[in-house]
Amino acid sequence: MAVSKKNKNRANVGNKEYLWWVYDETDQTAFDGVQVKIICEDQSHTLHYGLQQFDEDRAVILSLKDGVKWIVLACPKIESADGIITRSGIVRLINWCKNKEHNIFNGFAKKENIFEEERKQSLLEEIQSILD
């Protein structure tokens, strides 16, 4: 099923187009409050980022299309000091996710939490291969 482009912002990274939007939701998502959802137009992967995070716990969630595999990475702040998110911040976040070195908070694959560092790194590499 296609993602509606209505009321969505667009960002191009490499040869992929991403749709993104800001919304406010509590208790139904990984981040409470104002957050950004970024989805690749081919729906192969999604990124979730909360705008109201504390610096020491700041994270982004990368997930595959079906949500069966996802990983939580510590990440830098991409919004302005005023809490404003822009297209350039979205592009910066997507490009940052392609880096090889990350602090991985958690991983999940096929209904199983992944705690071993080697398996988390392997899962990250699998998800990153889709970003390129």
Does residue 3 form part of some domain?
A: no
Burial of 28 (0-12, 13-18, 19+ CB in 10 A): exposed
Residue 58 in any domain: the answer is yes
In a domain, 115, yes or no: yes
Residue 49 within a domain: yes
Q: Are 89 and 75 a contacting pair, CB within 8 Å?
A: no
Assigned token pair, 43: 């729906």
Q: What is the pLDDT of residue 126?
A: 87
pLDDT class of 6 with cuts at 50, 70, 90: confident
pLDDT in tens, 55-107: 889 999 999 877 788 999 999 999 988 889 999 999 999 999 998 889 999 88
Provide the pLDDT for residue 1. Answer: 61
Residues of the chain with pLDDT > 90, as a percent, come to 50
**Per the domain annotation, does 61 fall within a domain?**
yes
> What number is the average pLDDT over the span 4-18?
91
Confidence of residue 111 (pLDDT cuts 50, 70, 90): confident
Return the higher-pLDDT residue of 3 and 128.
128
Mean pLDDT of the chain: 89
Task: Record the pTM.
Answer: 0.88
Please give the pLDDT value at position 36: 95
Q: Give residue 4's pLDDT.
A: 80
Task: Please indicate, yes or no, if residue 95 is contained in any of the structural domains.
Answer: yes
Domain presence at residue 2: no
Q: Which domain holds residue 82?
A: 9-131
Of 44, 13, 50, 7, the C-alpha closest to 30 is 50
Report the number of distinct structural domains present in the chain: 1
User: What count of other Cβ atoms lies within 10 Å of the Cβ of residue 52?
Assistant: 12
